[in-house]
Amino acid sequence: MKLNIAILPGDGVGPEVIAEAEKVLNSVGEKFKHDLAIEKGLIGGDSIDKMGTALPEETVKLCQTSDAVLFGAVGGPKWDSASAKVRPEDGILAIRKQLGLFANIRPVKAYKSLIHSSPLKSDLLTGVDMVIVRELTGGLYFSKPKKRWANKNGRQGVDTLRYSEKEIVRIMRVAFELALKRKCKVTSVDKFNVLETGRLWREIANEVGSQYPQVQLEHMLVDNAAMQLVRNPANFDVIVSENTFGDILSDEAAVLTGSMGMLPSASLSGVIAESTFTSKASLYEPIHGSAPDIQGKGIANPIAAILSMAMMLRYSFGLLDEASIVESAVEEVLYEGYRTADLVTDDSPVLSTSVMGDYISNKVKLL
């Protein structure tokens, strides 16, 4: 099969972890005789430096003409001034919006062999296997007005939280379709008691839920959800939430897996038919950021990027065996005790980013 893939490494540890995902992808390509056509594009701070914009038109075109996009991370202190006119983050936000990637799928799985890497009590972590479905192109991140100004009362700022029925219906459908293939439970997260959008969110969750009688629907206020995630995480199956809530909850959920460096994600443009996801130029990215504090040290954990690549094989190309082999390779390498710095809990040796990538890539060849 021919796989046309755009790779956007971005800033900070982005290029370091994406290089390992590419290494593992090459192993998959060789093993299963796929023809990889990879093209790289600029995004984020790197692109601001070279092109004066966080998302050049060439990158948009490249993504639109590829089957899938693999993205690293953007941002860093160099571009962080409060008065900056362009920001690295604008690049990833704009490409999500331009490709219509409204559904961000963030699986959170606590690997048995990493249970001691999490600061939480290990008995809480047994059986943790959930997916956070984060709405990605609306809500507080994108709604207008969004601006800063000053008047006689001083400086002012506004962000807006707005949702249309259509936007909520389509993200709910993604959540319910996913739940059907899993443990048949959806937790819809909102702030029903305070926000109008929360009330609309809950109303529509009930309406869409009524079309899925097999799926249990529960509603949870976002503050309570933040607590339940660390109190009783094994109770969740599919969580569906507004953009900002999903951003915050998924960083919190990463603690369950032992490290931010473990969580992959897929940003999709929808569901088709009853149970298959569309494969139109979706984007795959680790949920962690550019981690400028460890940039260039070769110590970042590449697993989130590698697992994001596995999600790409599954959702964009329907290569289920290939995706499972990558996931099994990660699981086995962890089971054998190999750890990057973020995961080490005892005095076992610490693997560099690229050696971890080598181990997983070799494992793929062997499986």
Supply the minimum distance, in Å, between the C-beta of residue 42 and Mn ion.
Answer: 21
- Active site annotation includes 67: no
Catalytic residue among 80, 223, 293, 321: 223
State the residue number with the nearest CB to Mn ion.
247
Helix, strand, or coil here: 215? coil
Closest to ligand IPM by CB, 132 vs 178, is 132
What's the min distance (Å) between Cβ of 289 and ligand IPM? 6
Q: Which of these is catalytic: 31, 40, 159, 251?
A: 251
DSSP 273-326: TTTEE--SSEEE--SS---GGGTTTT----HHHHHHHHHHHHHTT--HHHHHHH
Interacting residues with Mn ion (CB under 5 A): 247
DSSP 3-state of 58: helix
Cβ within 8 Å of residue 87, ≥6 positions away: 54, 75, 79
Catalytic one among 11, 191, 237, 359?
191
Q: How far out from the chain centre does Cα 68 lie?
A: 14
Tokens 């909850």, residue?
249
237 is annotated as an active-site residue:
no
Give least dist CB 33 to ligand IPM, A: 33
* DSSP reduced 3-state for 15: helix
CB-wise, 90 or 247, nearer to Mn ion? 247
247: annotated active-site residue: yes
299-40-77-105 Cα dihedral, nearest 10 degrees: -80
In the bound state, the residue with its beta carbon closest to ligand IPM is: 89
Residue 223 is a catalytic residue: yes
Least Å distance between CB 336 and ligand IPM? 30
CA distance 305 to 308: 5
Q: What CA–CA distance (Å, rounded) separates 149 from 218?
A: 40
| DSSP single-letter state for residue 337 | T
Active-site choice (23, 247, 359, 363): 247
Contact of residue 10 among ligand IPM, Mn ion, none (CB under 5-8 Å per partner type)? none
Given the residues 141, 163, 212, 284, the one annotated as active site: 141
- Closer CB to ligand IPM, 56 or 75, in the complex: 75
Residue 308 CB, nearest approach to Mn ion (Å): 14
Q: Which of 254/294 has CB closer to Mn ion?
A: 254
Please name the helix (run of DSSP H) or strand (run of DSSP E) that holds residue 327, with its range, or none: helix 320-335
Residue number, 216 or 244, with CB nearest to Mn ion? 244
Point out which residues bind ligand IPM (CB under 6 A).
Answer: 74-75, 89, 92-93, 247, 287, 289
Catalytic positions, written as ranges: 141, 191, 223, 247, 251
